Amino acid sequence: MTTLPPAPDAILSARNVTKIYGSTHALKGVNFDIHRGKVTTLFGENGAGKSTLMKILSGVATPTAGTILLDGEVVSFASAAEARARGISIIHQELSLAPNLSVRDNIFMGRELRTPTGIDFAEEARQARALMAELEEEIEPMTLIEDLRLGQQQIVEIARALSVDSRILIMDEPTSALSASEVEVLFRVIRDLTSRGVSIVYISHHLEEALQITDYAVVLRDGSITATAEARDIDLEWIVRNMVGENFDLGSPPTGYAFGEVALSVRDVSVADASGTNSFVVDRMSLDVRAGEIVCIYGLMGAGRTELLECVAGRVPMAGGQVLLEGEDVSRLSIAERIAKGLALVPEDRQRDGLVQTMSVGENLSLASISAFARRLLLSPAREKAMIAETIRSVHVKTAGGNAPIGSLSGGNQQKVVIGKILTTGPRVILLDEPSRGIDIGAKAEVFRLLAERAARGLAVVFSTSEVAECLSIAHRIIVMRRGRISAQFGSDVTKEEIMAASGEAVIA
């Protein structure tokens, strides 16, 4: 790979940066420039490597290979604090505030203004108030973070980054929790900052919004930069085209058989917002899925996909409505009872909800169906072993064997274990929440092939995704969710642009 010289106005550049996690290449020789006093936006789907790149630029992670140039000289940050000392701040997607402390204490956390006798609280409060005024947010410095709305918390996070006089400010999805007026304020602040010479890196899934504020656009896909351009030369279509890519095949909807009866019927299901406000994250949604049918649910973050699937599986309480499995009402049943009846969920976060890290591959595979191996009280190790070997074969898990620790598997293989575990329970309906998250393209294709195979044998499949390309793979029907409701339904002949328009991500005339 040839090393490109940094752009003439680059303040911070990555050159041939590669990052490897286990067996996954998160970044593959990336060249990325942050332009001085400009907004550079990084576009890319989930798992494209945006966050990884930002972590490397801000000193949170170190690259496996490649160099970072700050003002043209090679630097390597040992920690985020070191990067911050050189003027690089990052606002993470997940907020890093202490909810039990006040706004003032959060802004000055770790770098309190000391006096010989303690902390200069008055000065801290004064500066905090000044920052809030600058951000046009009426938040008292002594308010506890936990008493603030999520959007306000985001503002505090931004204030904290501003308070250290950053030269480079990285914002990872800063608007995902902001209201329209808060976004406007944020954009005004960004313009003000760039006019003062601060360089901004901006990451957002709201493409239109990002296009409004950015000067440069960079698109990242599967760990590589696929396109770079100045904002005035491009439009949304350009971004979408480069983000999604044209040529990858995740399969097509299985054909050659007729769908069976309605296997899963979701009727007017509502799920209350976990934060305790009176809103609903899923708002009277209805959906029928037939045996053998594959339905894809697409939506942005916060559209209510996860909540819907978890509610149908029995994980989160239903605020209203009914879930019918093959005509039988299962709304009141526990998760275990629903699994026994044939309705099971493959959760979104497999580390947190899918796998037991302390157990082996085999024990994870047999966990959901363990009672099936019992003769009277005792388990039959032989039967369990046979079933584990069978499942490892049928879902193509690449492993040294059933005894291997689950942590020794790659992400894709771990996901196959979670799916295999559910398939051994003999489900009639399988729900998968972002089954392709964080797994490489080969494993994705395998997972989809597996699902298509099972669907052809009569399994009803519902999977959610935040990647448009995946909607256009094996799904017979695509449902777009927006703010807890179905905003559109399509057949498999829909285009990416139509899907994105319905989700509120991009409106393309």
Q: Which of residues 448-507 bind another protein (CB under 8 A)?
A: 466
Candidates 4-12, 69-77, 317-325, 351-359 — which segment interacts with another protein by CB under 8 A?
Answer: 351-359
8 A C-beta contact, residue 309 and residue 484: no
Residue 359 in the binding site for another protein (CB under 8 A): yes
Sites for another protein among residues 371-390 (CB under 8 A): 371, 373-374, 377-379, 381, 384-385, 388-389
Residue 276 in the binding site for another protein (CB under 8 A): no
Q: How far is the CB of 338 from another protein (least distance, A)?
A: 8
How far apart, in whole angstroms, are the C-alpha atoms of residue 416 and residue 418?
5
- Sequence-ordered list of residues with C-beta below 8 angstroms from that of 6, at least 6 positions apart, any chain: 13, 15, 33, 69, 72
Candidates 2-10, 145-153, 239-247, 355-363 — which segment interacts with another protein by CB under 8 A?
Answer: 355-363
Candidates 1-9, 49-57, 237-245, 492-500 — which segment interacts with another protein by CB under 8 A?
Answer: 49-57
How far apart, in whole angstroms, are the C-alpha atoms of residue 108 and residue 94?
19
Task: Provide the phi-psi class of 292: left if phi over 0, else alpha when psi is between -120 and 50, else beta.
Answer: left
Q: Which residues pair with 325 in a beta bridge?
A: 264, 328
How far apart, in whole angstroms, are the C-alpha atoms of residue 456 and residue 213?
47
How far apart, in whole angstroms, are the C-alpha atoms of residue 266 and residue 309?
10
Tokens linked to 274: 């976990």
Sites for another protein among residues 148-177 (CB under 8 A): 172
Candidates 82-90, 106-114, 143-151, 329-337 — which segment interacts with another protein by CB under 8 A?
Answer: 329-337
How far apart, in whole angstroms, are the C-alpha atoms of residue 440 and residue 182?
36
Candidates 66-74, 157-165, 241-249, 301-309 — which segment interacts with another protein by CB under 8 A?
Answer: 301-309
- Sequence-ordered list of residues with C-beta below 8 angstroms from that of 217, at least 6 positions apart, any chain: 40, 41, 43, 211, 227, 228, 229, 230, 231, 234, 239
Candidates 19-27, 77-85, 232-240, 487-495 — which segment interacts with another protein by CB under 8 A?
Answer: 19-27
Q: Measured from the CB atom, is 260 or 320 closer to another protein?
A: 320
Sign of CA dihedral 221, 226, 231, 234: negative
Candidates 41-49, 80-88, 183-191, 251-259 — which segment interacts with another protein by CB under 8 A?
Answer: 41-49
Size of the site for another protein (CB under 8 A): 86
Sites for another protein among residues 430-449 (CB under 8 A): 437-439
Q: Measured from the CB atom, is 185 or 367 closer to another protein?
A: 367
Q: Measured from the CB atom, is 59 or 362 closer to another protein?
A: 362
Q: How far is the CB of 386 from another protein (least distance, A)?
A: 10
Residue 318 in the binding site for another protein (CB under 8 A): no
Residue 29 in the binding site for another protein (CB under 8 A): no
Tokens linked to 68: 């970072």
Residue 219 in the binding site for another protein (CB under 8 A): no
How far apart, in whole angstroms, are the C-alpha atoms of residue 312 and residue 308?
6
Q: How far is the CB of 363 from another protein (least distance, A)?
A: 7
Q: Measured from the CB atom, is 254 or 484 closer to another protein?
A: 484
Q: How far is the CB of 47 from another protein (least distance, A)?
A: 5
Angle at 368 between CA 366 and CA 369, to 5 degrees: 65
How far apart, in whole angstroms, are the C-alpha atoms of residue 387 and residue 391?
6
Residue 360 in the binding site for another protein (CB under 8 A): yes
Q: For the chain, give the number of residues.
A: 509
Sites for another protein among residues 93-122 (CB under 8 A): 93-94
